[in-house]
Amino acid sequence: MAIDEKTKLELEQIRVLAFIGPAGTGKSRRAQLLARTRRVDYVIDDGLVVSRGKIMIGKSAKSEKNLISAIRRALFQFPDHKESVIAFLANESPCRVMVIATSQSMAEKIIKTLRLPKPSEFINIEDVATPDEIRQAKQERQQKGHHVIPVSQAQIRKNFGGKLVGRLRELWKTKDRHEGERTVVRPPFSFYGNLCIEMTAISQIVEYIIRLTRQVREVMEVRIRINAERLSISIDINVNMGKQNLLELSRSIQNRTASGVSYFTGMDVRSVDVNIKEVFVE
């Protein structure tokens, strides 16, 4: 989506913080209190833009029916979702925004997608929670499959398709009845157990993306490696001479492959290596 100069300037005036921690460590439980102490106006969490316990715009990733859709929703990969949030934030500028994510790379991906400035600060869950609190949060996630959304049940009921398990309330006092209330939910996709994406499926996605490039004559081999939940992709191809020189062609294939795989699987792509084995002149 191309944005106009006015929107671009408005987004540049937003100050961004990032709150980082692995899944199930209790980030959403601490989001409102942390936002309050850091004087944050809006929290971006799992596809929602929240202010003082109220959903301002967006859709919860936890309302999606499967994990792939949930990941795409959290990363704002649905165009209408992304565009509505960008327009809202531009209209509210200048303001302070806190992005909640499971890793620094995920936070940076969300921030880039929403055209926001680079974060002025990264806050880790270990900075605001003790090891015992993090352990208890992980244990509850693993045993019960419960997730926390930092808004009231009244707000969640409108667009949530899973099961409402309960509600929590912070001890700190506030005039706003929504602020400090959190909803415990069990998302629909948690009923289906763990999701496993076969490497052969990712290879087929890569091959399909590459074949869309005109100068690619033949895909010889696709190799996939995964390390720390990030993909490294190596591609052997034969190509035809054409409008793009070999360097331009390789870079184009790298960019298309990385963005395509990330879009369809929700996984981070660490690297894409393109090896041109043979060049043909037609």
CATH of the domain at 163: 3.40.50
Last residue within a domain, chosen from 130, 162, 192: 192
Measured CA to CA, the distance from residue 189 to residue 65 in angstroms comes to 5
- Contact assessment for residue 119 and residue 38, using Cβ atoms and an 8 Å cutoff: no
The 10s digit of each residue's pLDDT in 142-178 is 655 555 555 554 455 445 544 443 444 443 445 555 4
Q: At residue 274, what is the residue type?
A: V
- Contact assessment for residue 197 and residue 267, using Cβ atoms and an 8 Å cutoff: yes
First to last CA, the chain: 37
Last residue within a domain, chosen from 175, 192, 209: 192
Residues with pLDDT less than 50, the chain: 153-154, 157-158, 161-173, 178, 180, 182-183, 185, 191-193
205: domain CATH number?
A: 3.30.70.1350
90 — phi, psi (to 5°)?
-60, -40
**What is the predicted pLDDT for the residue at 21?**
87
252 and 146 share one domain: no
178 and 206 share one domain: no
233 — phi, psi (to 5°)?
-120, 130
162 and 267 share one domain: no
**What is the predicted pLDDT for the residue at 164?**
40
Judge if the upstream peptide bond of residue 94 is cis by omega within 30 degrees of 0: yes
What is the model's pTM?
0.61
Distances (CA, A) of 73 to 38, 155, 272: 26, 18, 24
- Per DSSP, the three-state class of 71 is helix
**What is the predicted pLDDT for the residue at 143?**
59
140 and 160 share one domain: yes
**What is the predicted pLDDT for the residue at 44?**
94
Measured CA to CA, the distance from residue 64 to residue 59 in angstroms comes to 9
Overall domain count for the chain: 2
204 and 93 share one domain: no
**What is the predicted pLDDT for the residue at 154?**
47
172 and 262 share one domain: no
Last residue within a domain, chosen from 135, 158, 192: 192
Over its C-alpha atoms, the chain yields an Rg (Å, rounded) of: 21
**What is the predicted pLDDT for the residue at 172?**
41
- Contact assessment for residue 181 and residue 53, using Cβ atoms and an 8 Å cutoff: yes
150 and 36 share one domain: yes
Question: Domain of 274?
Answer: 199-280
Distances (CA, A) of 247 to 48, 172, 254, 255: 40, 58, 11, 12
The 10s digit of each residue's pLDDT in 172-198 is 445 555 454 544 545 555 544 455 667
22 and 109 share one domain: yes
Q: At residue 54, what is the residue type?
A: K
178 and 146 share one domain: yes
